[in-house]
Structure 1
Amino acid sequence: MKTLWIFAISICFLSFTCSTDPSEIQEPQEDSIYFPPINSDEWETVSPTDLGWDQTELQPLLDYLELKNTKSFIILYNGRIAVEAYFDEHSATSLWYWASAGKTLTSTIVGIAEDDGLLNINNRVSEYLGTGWTSAPLEKENLITCKNLLSMDSGLDDHLGDNVSPENLRYMADAGTRWAYHNVYVKLQDVVAEASDQSWNTYFNSSLKNKIGMSGTWLPLDDLSVYWSNTRSMARFGLMIYAKGKWKNTQIVSASYLNDATNTSQNINESYGYFWWLNGKSSYHLPQTQLEFNGSLIPNAPADMFAALGKNDQKIYIVPSKKLVIIRMGDAADAVNFGLSDFDDTLWAKINALTN
């Protein structure tokens, strides 16, 4: 039998008598964002019932998640765990890959390095890596800035696979004129290493991972470097982003950088920031296509939702208006995909049924 853990607290204990006087019913109190302690498994919970959610919709949501090959799922409300579930022998300590959802880790580290005065995203990539990091003509290579890599509009050919050696980084269009989902973004990790005079892992650990109590590590996978962690570590990162770059009283990455990162970053794909996917826009592009689709990225999700989306349905959804951070890890819900799938919209219909 598959294992399911759900953490929630009830609205009252059976040993007490709950008043039925409507005048004594209290609305959920506004409170500050909760942050779990660093280097501890402690994490406060809040009951879906106490939040006024429809408890009868919780089990249908969990059943759907289990049906769709989910391994773990968390809903945070203003930092506290409202729902936490594990399936298929996965547990709170199991590691799983972030896939392209981990691109947002790279985006965040670039922002931290800029805050530290180590780099400027408007500078040419060649200022940090030297010329010849692509096989594009020099005048075309010099058009590519760090911001172009963050925005996926470098103009380099995206049809040559994930290998980012110079021979695979070929000119297709001028930087800023063509949006294409491309693994060339990993060159930003080299930029950070050069600018900080540290290895990528060392700077990542000291500037982000250790400061918010994440576990996990970067591991090579084919031509990629992919982050693996437990589910709560992904939730910690999502919570820091939800808190506008803060962890308790420490500003990890500037709010101004995050504001840029979670808004449209170029004029081609409205629904893309700095590796964050943006809901509520009038159109969007998808990986591996130059087609533009009209409408919102995930129609059932709130318009202000933004997300880190990874291959085979690794998800971080952040919804400021509803104080929600939602994590999903697992195998592909249906077919193999690059991050966005029909699963997103159906899942959001079920989340809405619970939270609304």
Structure 2
Amino acid sequence: MPLVFLIVLATFSLFCNAEQWPAEQWPERLAPRSPALDELQRYSFPPRDDASRNGVRTDGLLVIRDGQVIYERYSAPTSASTAHATWSISKSLLATVLGVAFSEGRFALQDAVVDYYQPFRKHPDVRLQDLLHWASGLDWQEDYEYAPLNSSVVAMLYTRGRTDMAAYAAQCGRFSAPGRQFRYSSGDSNVLAAVLKNLVGAHDYPNYPWRALFEPLGIHHAVWETDATGTFVASSYAYLTARDLARVGLLMLRDGRWRQRQLLPPEWVAFNRTPFAHATAEPGEATPGGHWWLNRAIGAAPRPWPSAPEDTFAALGHWGQGLYILPKQKLVIVRYGDDRDGSFSHDALLERVLAAFPEEAGQ
């Protein structure tokens, strides 16, 4: 075989197998219409009842395969340029920012929280990894608008805790020893945001998520609200476009690497994706990892999302926000919504996405 032909063949092979990364815009290779794609759209974008707010109400759905947009649709007034409320996806964003601080040698997972946040001295045996597992042991009630009277999170965000959210969480009592029992807590996440302030210093803190994460990924329009003390509301108040949130998903899909830069240490991503050792199976609930959610079975219980592969993991938020990563399929899915009645199903969405975008030959 002639040498020139071999060189051309090798060059073509490298081009075909080259990784796709977004520049200012994402590369696109939109999937053709199919019955399975029609079914995905019927499920995700049914006629909207704006008066009752019942049913599945998707504001935006974006599907990335191997670094390229293959599907994108929005419901007005949301568009591709809308920085949408992510709600508790903010927690996983904070974990990603902390991963950069971890790579800079600023802390260890076994460090005591009080070493970096003095108002937590009431709980000297709680470690940073306990907060990241939502296993601080604090007596926290994560009830929302349907049960507000005894809700710790409603009090923290909207009433007596709103001016200093981390301090409000720190004053809570204890229901278990730290690191022994999962109890989902927006308070744990906001304490981590206060820890980050002391890790990087008050001067650098306001810009740190941008310097550490958003700017390297090419995210230029993120908004992250703070409380009155200037601490990021890591539990709830980050806003990103779907395309920008997908950049975080692609970073996690590729094990913390962005182009030639290892932005997050592989061991940090492995921690995010490792089930909390003392998690218990709750019907319909995903398995907690390191401030991310996993499709991992616990004991004899089925996987939380049985239609999706076991290695699927996600960042999830109130009213149907989701960032899903499916490593084997090289898929990143962003779903923004306004679901108020509990009819939306993560598994139903993932089942339809996998049917609409089957694995390509050679993967």
With normalisation by structure 2, the TM-score equals 0.77
Instruction: Identify the match of residue 268 of structure 1 among 279, 290, 298.
Output: 279
- Partner deviation per Cα, 1:189-243 (whole Å, 9 max, x = no partner): 1111101114543111100011101121112589755101111111111111111
Partners of 2:236 and 2:330 in 1: how far apart? Answer: 31
**Structure-1 separation of matches of 2:335 and 2:261:** 27
- The equivalent position to 2:304 in structure 1, one of 276, 290, 297, is 297
Paired amino acid for 1:174: A
Secondary structure of 1:58's match? helix
Secondary structure of the corresponding residue to residue 294 of structure 1 = coil
* Structure 2 contact 170–191 (Cα < 8 Å) conserved: no
- On the 8 A contact 2:59/2:75 being kept in 1, the answer is yes
> C-alpha displacement at 1:114, in angstroms?
1.3
Q: 1:171-210 counterparts in 2 under 5 A?
A: 171-183=174-186, 184-198=188-202, 199-210=204-215
Q: Is 2:295 the partner of 1:279?
A: yes
Letter in 2 for 1:31: N
Secondary structure of 1:353's partner? helix
- CA contact under 8 A between 1:112 and 1:207: conserved in structure 2? yes
Q: Superposition pairs for residues 181-260 of structure 1, below 5 Å?
A: 181-183=184-186, 184-198=188-202, 199-214=204-219, 215-220=221-226, 225-260=236-271
Q: Distance in 2 between matches of 1:169 and 1:253?
A: 32
1:148 aligns to what? 130
- For residues 207 and 311 of structure 1, the distance between their equivalents in structure 2, rounded to whole angstroms, comes to 26
Q: Which amino acid aligns with 2:40?
A: L
Look up the match of 1:169: 172
CA-CA distance at 1:168 after TM superposition: 4.3
Shift of 1:60: 2.1
Q: Helix, strand or coil: the match of 1:180?
A: coil
**Matching residue within 41, 50, 58 for 1:70:** 58
Match of residue 120, structure 2, among 130, 133, 145? 133
CA contact (8 A) 2:89 2:236 kept: no
- The answer to whether the aligner puts 1:48 opposite 2:53 as a matched pair is no
Structure 2 letter corresponding to 1:238: G
CA distance in 2, matches of 1:155, 1:346: 33
Q: Describe the shift of the 1:180–1:305 C-alpha distance in structure 2 as closer, same or farther (beyond 3 A).
A: same
Identity of aligned residues (%): 24
Match of 1:12 in 2: none
SS of the counterpart of 1:73? strand
Measured against aligned partners, the alpha-carbon deviations of 1:251-279 in whole angstroms (never above 9, x if no partner) come to: 11111110111111332247211111111
Question: Matched residue of 1:72: which SS?
Answer: strand
Which sits farther off after the overlay, 217-226 or 71-80?
217-226
Number of residues of Structure 1 aligned to a counterpart in Structure 2: 301
Q: Residue 194 of structure 1: SS of its match in structure 2?
A: helix
Q: Which residue of 65, 70, 94 corresponds with 1:82?
A: 70
SS at match of 2:324: strand
Q: Which sections of structure 1, spanning at least 5 residues, go unmatched?
A: 1-28, 284-292
| Deviation of the 1:296 alpha carbon | 0.8
Provide the residue aligned with 2:6 in structure 1.
Answer: none
Q: In the alignment, is residue 157 of structure 1 matched against residue 139 of structure 2?
A: yes
CA distance in 2, matches of 1:282, 1:212: 34
Residue 105 in structure 1 maps to residue 93 in structure 2: yes
**Structure 1 residue 60 and structure 2 residue 69: aligned?**
no
Paired AA for residue 303 in structure 2? S
2: CA distance, partners of 1:260 / 1:95: 29
1:32–1:78 Cα contact (<8 Å) kept:
no
Q: Which amino acid aligns with 2:199?
A: A
Q: Which stretch has the larger CA shift, 305-314 or 261-270? A: 261-270
- For 1:32-43, list aligned pairs within 5 A: 32-37=18-23, 40=24, 42-43=25-26
The structure 1 segments of at least 4 consecutive aligned residues displaced by more than 3 Å after TM superposition are 198-201, 220-225
**TM-score when scaled to structure 1?**
0.79
Q: Which secondary structure state, in structure 2, belongs to the residue aligned with residue 109 of structure 1? A: helix
Q: Does 1:121 align with 2:109?
A: yes
Amino acid at match of 2:126: I
Secondary structure, aligned partner of 2:315:
strand
In the alignment, structure 2 segments of 5+ residues that lack a partner are 1-14, 47-55, 142-150, 157-165, 282-286, 359-363
* Structure 1 position 344, deviation (Å): 1.0
What do residues 91-148 of structure 1 show as CA deviations (whole Å, max 9, x unaligned)? 1111211111121111111121111011112100000112x426x4xxxx11100100
Which residue is equivalent to 1:3? none
Per the alignment, residue 327 of structure 2 pairs with 320
Find the aligned partners of 1:318 and 1:55 in 2 and give their Cα distance.
23
Q: CA RMSD in A?
A: 2.3
